[in-house]
Amino acid sequence: MNMAADTHRDDLASKTGMWLFLFTEMLLFGGLFVVYTVYRYRNPEAFHLAAKELSVFIGTLNTIILLTSSATIAMSITAIQKNNKKLALVLAGITILLGLAFLVNKYFEWGEHIREQIYPGSSVLALRGQGDVLFYGLYFFMTGLHALHIIIGLVFIGIVTGKITRNKITFDNYVLLENSGLYWHLVDMIWIFLFPLFYLIT
Amino acid sequence: MNAQKDIAEPSYLEYKGKYKGIFAWIFSTDHKRIALLYLFSILTFFGIGATLGLLMKIELIAPGKTIMDAQSYNAFFTLHGIIMIFAVVIPGLPAVFGNFLLPIMIGAKDVAFPRINLLSWYLYVTGVTLVVISQFAGQGPPDTGWTFYAPYSFRTTGTMLPAVFGAFVLGFSSILTGLNFLVTIHRMRAPGMTWLKMPLFPWTLYATGWVQLLATPIIGITLLMIVAERTLHIGFFDPTLGGDPLLYQHLFWTYSHPAVYIMILPAMGAISEIITAFSHKTIFGYKFMVASVLAIAFVGYFVWGHHMFTSGMSGTALYTFSLLTFIVAIPSAIKVFNWISTMHQGSIDLQTPFYWAMAFIFVFMIGGFSGLILGSLAANVHLHNTHFVVAHFHFIVFGGTGFAFFGAMHYWFPKITGRMYDKTWANIGLVIFFIGFITLYGPMFYLGFKGMPRRYFDYDEIFHAGNIVSSMGSLVLYSGLAIIIINLFASLKTGAKANSNPWGGKTLEWTIPSPPPVENFEEIPVITHGPYHYQ
C-alpha cells in the first residue's frame, strides 16, 4: 500500500542488506565451529580416527563442484551485465545442476554412513565411544545444515532464473541475481571450511 | 503550528489502500502501521506476561502452596520469562517506536526494506504462537526457565520443541528488524544529515541493530542444537554422550548478555530525546552520548561470563569477565551524568514523559549499581541464584526498558495518534506504578541478600515479611499499569486534538503533522544543523 515501497529502488541498499545477512549466517555457523573446536580439542584421538573414515574422494569432488558453481553464478552476473540474457540463463542453469549434483553426492555419502549404522542416536555408534558420537553428531548436523543452505540457495537461484526469463531481471536491474550470487558464494565458503575440518585434518 | 489543516494528503491512519479493514493493517508495508501492529501485539503479550507475574507473586504471599503447585510455578516463570524477554522487551522499543520514528527522525519516507519489515512482524507472531502452542501440546508446558539450560532442557518431559523453535523464530524476526534499521540509517538519511547530526534515538537503534545482527545468530544455532539434541540425541551438551553443559551456558549467554543491550540501548535513546525536549536545551555532551552508546554495544559482547561465575571457569576468566563488567558500566554512567547535565540550566517543562524519564533514571541507577554488586566475584558467590538477581534484572529490564517504553509512549502518543491523553490520570497512573514497582522489587534485594533462592514456589518462614510487602507491591503495580493503559486507550477517543508539536521538540518528527501523512514528508527536508537546535 505504500507507494514509497514500490517506487524506491536502491541497489546498494539491497546489497548492503544481503551482506549484513551473510554476517548472521557466518555467525550461525561460527557457533558450530566453536563447538567443533572444543570437542576436537578434548577428543583429539577419536576425531583423528573418525575423520579418516570419511571419503576424501567424494569430499574433494563436492568441493570442486561447489567452486565451479560459484564461478558459473559469477559469470552469469557478468553475462546479464553485458545484456546477454541467454548466456546468463545457461550459466544460472548450470549452477543449479551443480548444486543438485552436490546434494546427490551428499545423499550417497550419508546413505553409506547410515547403512553402516553410523548416525546420531545409533547404538552401534554409541559403542564406539564419546569422541565418535560427537564427531559424527557434528558431521551430520553441520553438513546437514549446510545442505539445507544449498537447498535454500538453489530455490533462490531458481526464482531468480525465472525472473530472468520473464525479463524482470535485466542488464540495468540485476541486484537480485547479484544477491543470490552472494548467498551462493557464502554457502560455498562455508563448505570450504567444513571440508578440511571433517575430511582433511586427520 | 497547525500545519495539518492545510495539507490534503490523508494521515497514515486514514489512508485507504487496496485492502480493507484489518487487511489494510496486516498487509501494510507502511512502517507506521507495522509499528502499531507491533505495539498492539506487544501490549497483548505484556499483559499476559504481567498477569503471570502477578499470579506468581500471589503464590509467594505465604510459604507453602497458596494458589499453585511447584510444577505450575515452574511453568509460569518459564512462560513469563520467554514472553517478557523474547516477545516484549527485545522487540519493544525498536519494533514499535523504532519502526514508527526512525524513518521520520532521519527524514526518510520508509525503512529500506518495507516488505521485510512486514515479514519480521509475521515471524514475530509465528514465534509467539509456537511458544503458546508449547503450553497446551504434549505432556505439559516447558519448565526450564527462559534460559533452556542443558541438560535439563532435553531431559524434561515438558513440551520443549515448539518453545525453543519459537524463540529461534523470534530471534530471526529480531535480526531482520536490526538489518533493516542498519541499512535504513546507512542509506536513507536526509541530505545534510551527517552521522553527527543524527538524533540520539536513531543512534541507539543503530548500535542495537548491530547487536541484533551479530549476537542473535549465536542463540539461533544454540537453540537449533537443543532441538537436534532432543530429536536426534546428538550429544552436544549431554554429559552422558561426551557433551558439555557448560558450553551451552557459554553459547547461550554470548547472545543473551548482548541481548540486554538490545533492550536497554533504545531505552536510553528514547530517554535522551525526552530529557532534551522537556529541558528545552541541547543534549549535554552529544558526542559522548554517541560514543558511549557504541562503547556499550561493543563491550557488551565480552561480559557474558558474569552470568556463570559460579558455574566453573578458570580464575583468569573470572577476573577478566568481572573487570569487563565494571568497564561496561562506565559508558552508562556517562549517559546518566549527561542527562542530569542537560537539565542543568534548562527551562524544564514538567510533563508526564519527563516524569517517566526521571523515574527511569532513578530505577536504572539502582539497577545499575546492584549490577556492580553482582559483578564483583566474592559478592556474586553469595548472591547468585537468589532473589537479589531477580530484583537486579527487573530494575534494569522492567525499570529501565519498561519505564522508557511508557515514557516513549507518553512522549510520542500525540504524534502517533494525533490526540493528547489525559495528563492528570497519566500522572496518577505513573505515581501508583512507581510506588508499586519499588514496593514489589525493593524487598527482593533484601530477601536475596538474606538468602532466599529464586525459582521456588515455597520459602522458609523467615522470608515471610518481605514477601508480603513484595506481593502487595505487585498488586499496586498492576493497578497503576491498568490506569496507564486505560487512560491511553480512552484518550484515543476522547483526547483533545494534538497539534504537530505539543512539546516543543526539535527533531524532525515534530515538523510534520500529527498523525503523520502516509509518505511522512511532502518534501524531504535538508538538514543544516544538529538535532537539538535550541537557542
Which own/partner pairs from A158-163 qualify as long-range (CB within 8 Å, at least 24 positions apart)?
A158/A96, A160/A92, A161/A89, A161/A92, A161/A93, A161/A96
How close A184 gets to chain B, by Cα (Å)?
Answer: 19
The answer to whether A141 contacts B179, with C-beta atoms less than 8 Å apart, is no
Cell of B100: 514508527
Sign of CA dihedral A143, A145, A149, A154: positive
How close A90 gets to chain B, by Cα (Å)?
Answer: 30
**How many Å is the Cα radius of gyration of chain A?**
20
Which residues does residue B453 pair with via DSSP β-bridges, in sequence order?
B386
The answer to whether B110 contacts A2, with C-beta atoms less than 8 Å apart, is yes
Closest alpha carbon to B457 in B59, B52, B82? B59
How close B312 gets to chain A, by Cα (Å)?
Answer: 16
What's the pLDDT band for B216 if we cut at 50, 70, 90? very high
What pLDDT digit, counting tens, does each position of B94-129 carry?
999 999 999 999 999 999 999 999 999 999 999 999
Sign of CA dihedral B448, B451, B456, B457: negative
The pLDDT > 70 percentage for chain B reads 98
What part of B 13-72 touches A (C-beta under 8 Å)? 15, 17-19, 24, 27-30
Which own/partner pairs from B65-72 qualify as long-range (CB within 8 Å, at least 24 positions apart)?
B65/B457, B65/B458, B68/B457, B69/B457, B70/B456, B70/B457, B70/B458, B71/B140, B71/B143, B72/B457
* Cα dihedral B86, B90, B94, B100 in deg (nearest 10): 40
Closest alpha carbon to A89 in A161, A153, A180, A156? A161
Collect all residues with Cβ–Cβ distance below 8 Å to B415 and sequence separation of at least 6: B101, B498, B509, B510, B514, B515, B516
Per-residue pLDDT, B447: 97
Residue B521 counted as domain residue: no
Residue B523 counted as domain residue: no
Q: Which amino acid is at A40?
A: R
Q: What is the mean pLDDT of residues B388-403?
A: 96
What's the pLDDT band for B8 if we cut at 50, 70, 90? low
DSSP state of B190: P
* Cα dihedral B304, B307, B308, B310 in deg (nearest 10): 150
Collect all residues with Cβ–Cβ distance below 8 Å to A78 and sequence separation of at least 6: none
Per-residue pLDDT, A3: 44
The answer to whether B235 contacts A32, with C-beta atoms less than 8 Å apart, is no
- From chain A, the residues in CB contact with B24 under 8 A are 1
* Lowest mean pLDDT, pick from B12-26, B312-326, B349-363, B479-493: B12-26
Three-state secondary-structure class, residue A124: helix
DSSP state of B283: P
Distance between CA B204 and CA B292 in Å, rounded? 10
* B190–chain A Cβ distance below 8 A for any pair: no
What CATH number does the domain containing B386 carry? 1.20.210.10
What part of A 133-152 touches B (C-beta under 8 Å)? 133-134, 137-138, 140-141, 145
The answer to whether B218 contacts A120, with C-beta atoms less than 8 Å apart, is no
For A123, name the nearest residue in chain B, comparing CA atoms only.
B233
Distance between CA B354 and CA B381 in Å, rounded? 38
How close A86 gets to chain B, by Cα (Å)?
Answer: 30
Per-residue pLDDT, B20: 83
Domain count for chain B, please give it.
Answer: 1
Q: What is the mean pLDDT of chain B?
A: 94
The pLDDT > 90 percentage for chain B reads 88
What pLDDT digit, counting tens, does each position of B121-162 carry?
999 999 999 999 998 888 889 999 999 998 899 888 888 999
Residue B261 counted as domain residue: yes
- From chain B, the residues in CB contact with A36 under 8 A are none
> How far, CA to CA in Å, does A145 sit from each of A32, A107, A149, B231?
10, 14, 6, 15
Per-residue pLDDT, B68: 94
Residue B531 counted as domain residue: no
The answer to whether B217 contacts A27, with C-beta atoms less than 8 Å apart, is yes
> How far, CA to CA in Å, does B435 sit from each of B55, B57, B429, B431, B440?
19, 16, 10, 6, 8
The answer to whether A4 contacts B519, with C-beta atoms less than 8 Å apart, is yes
- Smallest Cβ–Cβ distance between A120 and the set B222, B233, B519 belongs to B233
Distance between CA B259 and CA B495 in Å, rounded? 36
Size of interface A-B (CB pairs under 8 A): 134
Closest alpha carbon to B338 in B369, B400, B292? B292
Q: What angle do CA B357, B359, B365 make, to 5 degrees?
A: 100
What CATH fold (topology level) applies to the domain A11-200? Four Helix Bundle (Hemerythrin (Met), subunit A) (1.20.120)
- Better-predicted residue by pLDDT, B234 or B206: B206
Q: What is the mean pLDDT of residues B255-270?
A: 95
Residue B433 counted as domain residue: yes
* A21–chain B Cβ distance below 8 A for any pair: yes
Per-residue pLDDT, A8: 65
Phi, then psi, of B330 in degrees rounded to 5: -65, -50
DSSP, residue by residue, B10-75: PBTTT---SS-TTHHHHT---HHHHHHHHHHHHHHHHHHHHHHHHHHHHHTTSSS-SSS-HHHHHH
Domain housing B252: 3-511
Give the DSSP H or E segment for B225: helix B200-232
Q: Which amino acid is at B409?
A: M
Phi, then psi, of B515 in degrees rounded to 5: -70, 155
Distance between CA A3 and CA B415 in Å, rounded? 22
* Cα dihedral B76, B77, B80, B86 in deg (nearest 10): -130
Contact status, residue A183 vs residue A153, Cβ threshold 8 Å: yes
Give the DSSP H or E segment for B502: none
Q: What angle do CA B64, B67, B72 make, to 5 degrees?
A: 90
Q: What angle do CA B198, B201, B202 make, to 5 degrees?
A: 55
Segments making up each domain of chain A, as ranges: 11-200
For cell 563488567, what's the residue? B325
What part of B 193-252 touches A (C-beta under 8 Å)? 213-214, 216-218, 220-222, 224-225, 228, 232-236, 241-244, 247, 251
- Smallest Cβ–Cβ distance between B187 and the set A12, A21, A34 belongs to A12
For cell 509518505, what's the residue? B519
Contact status, residue B116 vs residue B175, Cβ threshold 8 Å: no
Average pLDDT of each block of 10 consecutive residues along chain A (202 residues)?
Answer: 55 95 96 95 93 93 97 96 95 97 96 93 88 94 97 97 94 94 97 95 80
Helix axes B245-279, A11-42, angle to 10 degrees: 140
Q: What is the mean pLDDT of residues B357-379?
A: 96
Distance of CA B76 to the CA centre of its chain: 20
The answer to whether B221 contacts A131, with C-beta atoms less than 8 Å apart, is no
What pLDDT digit, counting tens, does each position of B444-473 carry?
999 999 999 999 999 999 999 999 999 999
How close B218 gets to chain A, by Cα (Å)?
Answer: 6
Closest alpha carbon to B89 in B49, B56, B52, B140? B49
The answer to whether B225 contacts A35, with C-beta atoms less than 8 Å apart, is yes
What pLDDT digit, counting tens, does each position of B159-190 carry?
899 999 999 999 999 999 999 999 999 999 99
B78: pLDDT strictly greater than 50:
yes
What's the pLDDT band for B426 if we cut at 50, 70, 90? very high
